[in-house]
Amino acid sequence: MSGSRERMLESAAELFGSRGYHATGLNQLTSAGGAPKGSLYFHFPGGKEQLAVEAVQLSGERLREGLQGILAAHRSPGEAVAAVAGALGENLRGSGFEHGCPLATIALDAGGNKQIRQACAQSYAGWLESIEGQLTASGLPAQRAAELATVVLTSIEGALLLAKTNHDLTPLHTVGAHLRAVLDEETRACESTT
């Protein structure tokens, strides 16, 4: 990837993640990427939509890699999920409560755009798959792991939104602690039946 294209994609991921699709203009995208307007169409012939799709894919994959790293570093799913909530909270605080979920804003804002919606759906599916993998590795049946992964992801997404809105990490701490207790109980119950 060329330096100019990479800079534009990086800045687009940040802008779309914090402002959404419709609130981010072409001038902002090229200015933040340090490139002339013509280079947007040179690097992204599909224009703003293509740039948004690729930015979502980049953000989604980065978060998935971070998620997998945190999950793998913890012994139990409960510890791992609480650590994920904590890490997202620290990232949010470090950004001055600007950068919550890198997909939520654009997913809500560009939901009518099929390609952007599909890119968001694929990224969320990858996150769910990572969480499910951790849960099945701990011995939970696949169906239960899938159900709990959905609960984990939606709970953390909601807590992240509240934390960002209120400039307060309490929702993330609360959800992290609750999910840890639920997952610890689920894995203990599973161990006792095997």
pLDDT at 71 over 90: yes
Judged against a pLDDT cut of 60, whether residue 173 lies above it is answered with yes
Q: Is residue 102 within 8 Å of 160, Cβ to Cβ?
A: no
pLDDT of 2 > 70? The answer is no
| Domain 52-193 classification at class level | mainly alpha
Per-residue confidence (pLDDT) for residue 41, from 0 to 100: 83
Residue 22 has a CB neighbour count (10 Å cut-off) of: 10
CA separation for the pair 182, 13 (Å, rounded)? 34
Q: Considering the chain, what percentage of its residues have pLDDT values greater than 70?
A: 98
